[in-house]
Structure 1
Amino acid sequence: MQQRMSLVTLAVADLEATRRFYVDGLGWEAMIHVPGDVLMIKVADKVILSLWDRDHFEAEVGAIATGQGVAPLTLAHNVASREEVDAVLATARQVGADPVQDGVDRAWGGYTGYFGDPDGYRWEVAWAPGDVGAAVLP
């Protein structure tokens, strides 16, 4: 098996609210949008973010575990500077992201903050110096 990831799929409660957040709010471009079913956004070369209606997700994949707290994963959007981290977080705040945690310097040398999308998935907005930053930025 080759080492790669091609698709990240997230189950969402309200696909149209999700579309408004990502497409209308953040300005991302939909690759495929089937109302009531799925929204696919190309987020990198050969990588798609698939936002799938929760009921359709559960019908194919199985019941979703629920409970208190944050989903045990984060998605990351890396940028080239601390200032860009702050700008992306400001945009997320303007389009209704909740919560938004301001950028802070991290012990490992980077600068990151977080925002939540309409389903509570956390996006890390990060400036990562060194090899990691070089590996993930265009």
Structure 2
Amino acid sequence: MEQQVHFTTLATPDLDAARRFYVDGLGWTPLLDVPGEIVFFQVAPGTVLAFFEAAQFGQDLGTGPERPAVSGVTLAHNVGDRDAVRALADAMAAAGGTVLTAPEEGAFGGVFHALVRDPNGVVWEVAHNPGWSVDADGTVRLG
């Protein structure tokens, strides 16, 4: 298996709220939007983030103890400076998100960040990390 993830799919109890937050509030453009079912966003070359209506997500996966719920997940978005962290956290709040941690110094690696929960509970870390960069070929550099 190649070391790649092409889709990240999150169950959402309110697909319309997710759509309003990401499309109307943040200005994202759907790659594919199936009302009442799922909305896909291309977030990087070859990478898609999807929000799947929770009941249909459960049906798609099946049920039972072999299908445990995932916990402890955040999505992260890195920006160029501390002011951009503040601006994006404010924009996400204006779009219907809830600021969980106001922009502040992080506990690790010189990161300045904020945590914002979208209307369906997805937690985003908005961060300025001076040790993070992406080369022209897409290679991520940390540290």
TM-score band w.r.t. shorter chain: 0.7 to 0.9
> 1:127 touches 1:133 (CA, 8 Å); kept in 2?
no
Deviations 1:93-113 (A, max 9, x none): 111102442111123211010
Q: SS at the partner of 1:126?
A: strand
For structure 2, list consecutive stretches of 5 or more residues without a partner in the other structure: 135-139
The corresponding residue for 2:125 is 124
Q: Tell me the C-alpha RMSD between the 2 structures.
A: 1.9
Deviation at 1:65, TM superposition (A): 5.7
The corresponding residue for 2:33 is 33
> 1:81 touches 1:127 (CA, 8 Å); kept in 2?
yes
Cα distance in structure 2, aligned partners of 1:14 and 1:99: 19
Deviation at 1:4, TM superposition (A): 1.0
Deviation at 1:119, TM superposition (A): 1.2
The corresponding residue for 1:112 is 113
Task: Select the structure that is richer in helix.
Answer: 1
Q: Does 2:9 correspond to 1:5? A: no
TM-score by length of 1: 0.88
TM-score by length of 2: 0.85
Percent identical residues: 36
Deviation at 1:74, TM superposition (A): 0.4
Cα distance in structure 1, aligned partners of 2:79 and 2:59: 36
